[in-house]
Amino acid sequence: MPDYPSPIRDGVFVDQDGVSWRLRGGEVRWTRVRRLIQDPAVQVLHVYLDDLRTVPTSERSDLLRQIAPYVENPRKRPEDHTDFLLAEFKAGTRSMVVVEETC
């Protein structure tokens, strides 16, 4: 089984500009994630397998719609093999949301 990148597992992520982001706390509430993802000042990183992609502001509503069924109500989540882990990272006073998608 390949070992894919996981900033959440590692607790740290260094972006292409050399900025070191550190995991903030543990599990982050869905209400906070929604608010952060909608904030254009917050970076959003979507990790799927070995693809790490910064999500532009124009695509964030679509990302929220994609992950909402999996995290809003875990008892009613879709019956497929997809899962999402969400975390907040900090670099000084700046925030970044990391969305790790697995299947």
Is 34 within the bounds of a domain?
A: yes
Q: Into how many domains does the chain fold?
A: 1
Is 69 within the bounds of a domain?
A: yes
- Quick one: pLDDT at residue 73? 75
CB under 8 A, 24+ apart: contacts of 2-7: 2/49, 2/50, 4/47, 4/49, 4/50, 5/47, 5/50, 5/52, 6/47, 6/100, 7/45, 7/47, 7/87, 7/89, 7/98, 7/100
User: What is the domain range of residue 55?
Assistant: 7-102
Is 2 within the bounds of a domain?
A: no
Is 1 within the bounds of a domain?
A: no
Each residue's pLDDT tens digit, 11-41: 999 999 999 999 998 779 999 999 999 999 9
* Reported confidence tier of residue 2, pLDDT bands at 50, 70, 90: low
Is 63 within the bounds of a domain?
A: yes
pTM value surpassing 0.85:
yes
Each residue's pLDDT tens digit, 47-63: 998 899 999 999 999 99
Residue 89 clears pLDDT 60, i.e. is over it: yes
